[in-house]
Chain A
Amino acid sequence: MNSNLFGYDHNNTWVHQLTGTSKLIFFILVSIIAMISYDYRFIILVLLLSIFAFKQSQIKWVQIKFVVKLIFIFAVLNLVMVFVFSPNHGAALYGTRHVLINLGYFTITKEQLFYELNLGLKYLVTVPISLIFLITTNPSEFSASLNKIGVSYRLSYSLSLSLRYIPDVQNDFKEISLAQQARGYEISKKGKLFSRLKGTTQILIPLILSSLDKIQTISQAMELRRFGKNKHRTWYMNRNFNKKDYSIILLSIFIVILGILFMKMDGGRFYNPFI
């Protein structure tokens, strides 16, 4: 098992075969343009495309169940909050006001619903794009990909290192917590809530100390192998671009251009069907 946060699966579809860099570029360009545009026609187009790619990558529902549910809850919560704080935002945006249900401050207008529909779609579209990147990219390639698009290698390597150490820290946490229970903190269900809480906080001191120790050792080990010597470094897991990678990058550029065309047509970020 490869230690990683997002559950990289060792599948071998064409999506997996793409280099991390091209997927990262796709992810960044497409989500930016989808975030800028408020034209549901364009967003639905991108959504369909990313759902297609998602299907192609053979990601299983169990792998993403938790994350998707979490995103869904936050998206709905966000949409509700937008309505609570500015129920009139849609009308102000589109310049017209078609009242559906009159509820005083909380009056529901067509414009508001349309605005929130666009907003919801935007949230929705980022789910498959980001999950594709996270699940089909070998964690070993993350740092190389980040470095390739211009993030400094020190920064991107620290990401890869934290991926490497997450299971270790989890293990330490578990062990220390058990040791504290043996000392007498009743963290099991037999204990009172307060003593359980207190016991949990006691874990932090040894955990932080042992993590700091680890950080010192690892930074020494890295220096002893010349990390930080040059301005650049190469990556063992780096792969060269092939035709598919170039096509994906072209595709993402095409999508960006398409998005811009839609905006030209709409005369701005918002597509306005009310005029």
Chain B
Amino acid sequence: MPKTMIEFKNVTFRYNAQAEPTLKNINLQINEGEKVLVVGPSGSGKSTLGNLINGIIPENFRGDLSGEIYIDGKDAKDMSIFDTSLKVGTLLQNSNDQFVGLTVAEDIAFGMENDCFDNPTMRAKVNQWSNKLSINNLLKQAPNNLSGGQKQRTGLAGLLVDDSPILLLDEPLAALDPMAGHESIQLLQDLHNELKNTIVIIEHRLEESLTQDIDKIVLMDDGEIVGIYHPAELLKKNILNKYGIREPLYIEALKKMGVSLNTLNEIDSVEKVNGPEVADRIKKVSANVKPISNYNDSDDILSIKKLSFSYGKKEIFDNLNVDIQKGDMVSLVGKNGVGKTTLSKLIVGFLTPNAGEIKFNGESLLNKSIKERADDIGYIMQDPDKMISKVMIYDEVALGLKLRHYPKAQIKAKVNHALKICNLYPFRNWPISALSYGQKKRLTIASMLVLSPKLLILDEPTAGQDYYHYTEIMNFLRKLNHEQALTMIFITHDMHLMAEYSTRTLVIGDHNILRDNTPAKVLDDEQLLAKANLRRTSLSILAKRFNVKYNDFSNYLIGKERDNQYEQ
């Protein structure tokens, strides 16, 4: 019998600040060497479950805890957070915020310093693990200078030096570009194969997580465990969408084509999935597709000519040219740190180009202040907390209008209208602190919409959102685009998002635009994807396996998706 590493018996937990328990009657058993994925929508209690495993609860959050928890056979009641941390190594969600050392080496050694290891031992261990994770050339670097993937490796190395038998990872994919995410999954797989430790991953990006071997998936909803499944079993159950988790794209596609999931073999791998009807169906649907015209002959709304920009000596753009047409829905993609956010900041005036011209509706933007540009261009930052400065929802949305001296009655009408569009009207008299992350995001969009911008730039509009909120936000944006002819540019790492919601993709490469084409064409070009740290979606893998043109296949699916939406 394998050893039980984590055991929950009838565990219920209620935070002191809350009326209802966040976790209800949890029973869970995880064995030594297992790799377990915990999925569930926002607010389902999966992070709370993680905090109970690593001892943050009850150390940092007080509340009512009943039931029994055993970590490596020991009763968690008798363990301090320090004892637990020797059993469970935790990688927190945002690896940037958990850096404690001034350099990579110090950060890796942090736990050992607290355990009073001597210097030669620390140096040896730091070298051993940094070599293993290929960050040995970065030891003297400050954490701010690392890429997302490197930060994560540093965080992992800092846990692995402890030799703890359990690793707990909270949304390890959240801050990574598609390629780095893929590498991170590979790395976990290799580590697991070698160390045979127990790994618990909390993640709502199911599709990427499934590219590794997962022993079981714990599905959570509303504080309860819905069930514990083998990946294939869960996918066949066809219940994911109901629980706000995005199904893998290829499963979605197969369902849309009318393939019954129960007839499929090896359903948990896009590389192997097959069944009696699959090949026929894919060929049939791809054969007679109405071409979707993405061609937009409207006037240019934004025109960038010969743009150059550098941070000090580091050149970001050199002679970049691009025109955006009215009504475009543009996705801006490319590897981390290549300048996607920089380009947006140049457009809205947060940064000033070294050379070149940016015109909006034929007028130069360069002599305008940030405020003047904001009358036409709304920029929504990734982190809503950086944009919000008021306490009440209504005031936050009204702020831009007040500062532009609109009459009171008009402000009220405009604010209410924007709040209605963003589904926030019922909350208008609430404090902002009562909103969820997704609602805050919509709030920042509302406070831009009141200014009636002609162009919206959104930085990672769906980052950190579960599927339910993701769809909600993106459908909302698409509606704005259709109904108000609002031009949009969004920065994203999410290939699904790009394929499904944008009509045009700009791939940013080193110093310039690498490709300007439809999302389907971009996804079909493997060389380009590799160059820009992007990944094929499982759809294009499926298309390739069954020898159909990706373009046709994806057009069929997108067409079908849009039909569905208009029916609703």
Contact = CB atoms under 8 A, between A and B. Distances in A.
A and B interact physically:
yes
Interface stretch (B2-10, B64-72, B386-394, B419-427): B386-394
Contact of B370 (A181, A221, A223, A236): A181
A232 B116 contact: yes
B42 to A, nearest CB: 17
Nearest 4 Cβ contacts at the A-B interface:
A184-B403, A221-B98, A236-B109, A225-B111
A181 B374 CA distance: 8
A188 B370 CA distance: 8
Contacts, number: 165
Contacts of B56: 220, 223-224
Nearest to A215: B97
A139 interface: yes
Contacts of A81: none
Contacts of A161: 100
B351 to A, nearest CB: 9
B350 interface: yes
Interface string B78-112: 00011001100010101001111111011001111
Given A140-B102, A175-B386, A232-B116, A217 B92 contact: yes
Interface in B375-407: 379, 381, 383, 385-389, 399-400, 402-404
Interface stretch (A14-22, A163-171, A256-264): A163-171
B118 interface: yes
A224 B81 contact: yes
Contact of A234 (B54, B81, B117): B117
Given A176-B386, A178-B370, A236 B106 contact: yes
Interface string A221-238: 111111111101111111
A3 B60 contact: no
A182 B102 contact: no
A130 interface: no
B460 to A, nearest CB: 14
A150 B22 CA distance: 45
A114 interface: no
Given A234-B116, A236-B105, A209 B90 contact: no
Interface residues of A, number: 55
B400 to A, nearest CB: 5
Contacts of A168: 144
30 contacts: A160-B102, A163-B102, A172-B386, A176-B386, A181-B369, A182-B371, A184-B402, A184-B403, A188-B371, A190-B369, A191-B371, A206-B385, A210-B386, A217-B97, A218-B97, A218-B98, A220-B56, A221-B100, A222-B110, A223-B56, A224-B54, A224-B90, A224-B92, A225-B110, A225-B114, A226-B82, A229-B114, A236-B113, A236-B122, A236-B123
Q: Which of A182, A228, A229 has the most CB of B within 10 A?
A: A182
Interface of A: 1-4, 139-140, 160-161, 163-164, 167-168, 172, 175-176, 178-186, 188, 190-191, 202-203, 205-206, 209-210, 213-214, 217-218, 220-230, 232-238
Contact of A227 (B55, B105, B110, B145): B110
Contact of B85 (A179, A210, A225): A225
B483 interface: no
A28 to B, nearest CB: 23
Contacts of A140: 101-103, 106
A2 B348 CA distance: 30
Nearest to B385: A210
B251 interface: no
Interface in B101-140: 101-103, 105-106, 109-119, 122-123, 126
A179 B113 contact: no
A229 B115 contact: yes
Given A213-B385, A225-B100, A225-B158, A184 B105 contact: no
Contact of A222 (B100, B109, B115, B381): B100
Given A206-B386, A206-B388, A224-B90, 9 more contacts: A1-B142, A140-B103, A168-B144, A186-B371, A188-B369, A217-B94, A225-B111, A234-B119, A238-B119
Contacts of A175: 350, 381, 386
B163 interface: no
A203 B386 CA distance: 9
A3 B144 contact: yes
Nearest to B116: A234
A229 B79 CA distance: 13
Interface in B134-181: 142-145, 158
Given A1-B145, A188-B371, A218-B98, A233 B389 contact: no
Nearest to A221: B98
Contact of B81 (A180, A191, A223, A235): A223
B462 interface: no
A188 B373 CA distance: 13
Contacts of B55: 224
B15 to A, nearest CB: 15
A22 to B, nearest CB: 17
B75 interface: no
A229 B80 CA distance: 10
A232 B115 CA distance: 9
Nearest to B95: A221
B59 interface: yes
Nearest to A172: B386
A180 B113 contact: no
A96 B120 CA distance: 63
Given A188-B369, A217-B97, A233 B113 contact: yes
Contacts of A184: 371, 374, 399-400, 402-404
A232 B118 CA distance: 12
Nearest to A237: B106
A197 to B, nearest CB: 14
Given A167-B144, A223-B59, A226-B115, A185 B403 contact: yes
Contacts of B99: 164
A206 B389 contact: yes
B111 A226 contact: yes
Contacts of B144: 3, 167-168
Name, among A160, A168, A181, A225, the residue most crowded by chain B CB atoms within 10 Å (CB to CB).
A225
A218 B387 contact: no
B447 interface: yes
Contacts of A203: 389
Contacts of B123: 236
Nearest to A140: B102
B116 A230 contact: yes
Nearest to A225: B111
Interface in B461-490: none
Nearest to B115: A226
A205 B385 CA distance: 10
Contact of B369 (A164, A186, A234): A186
Given A221-B98, A235-B113, A183 B400 contact: yes
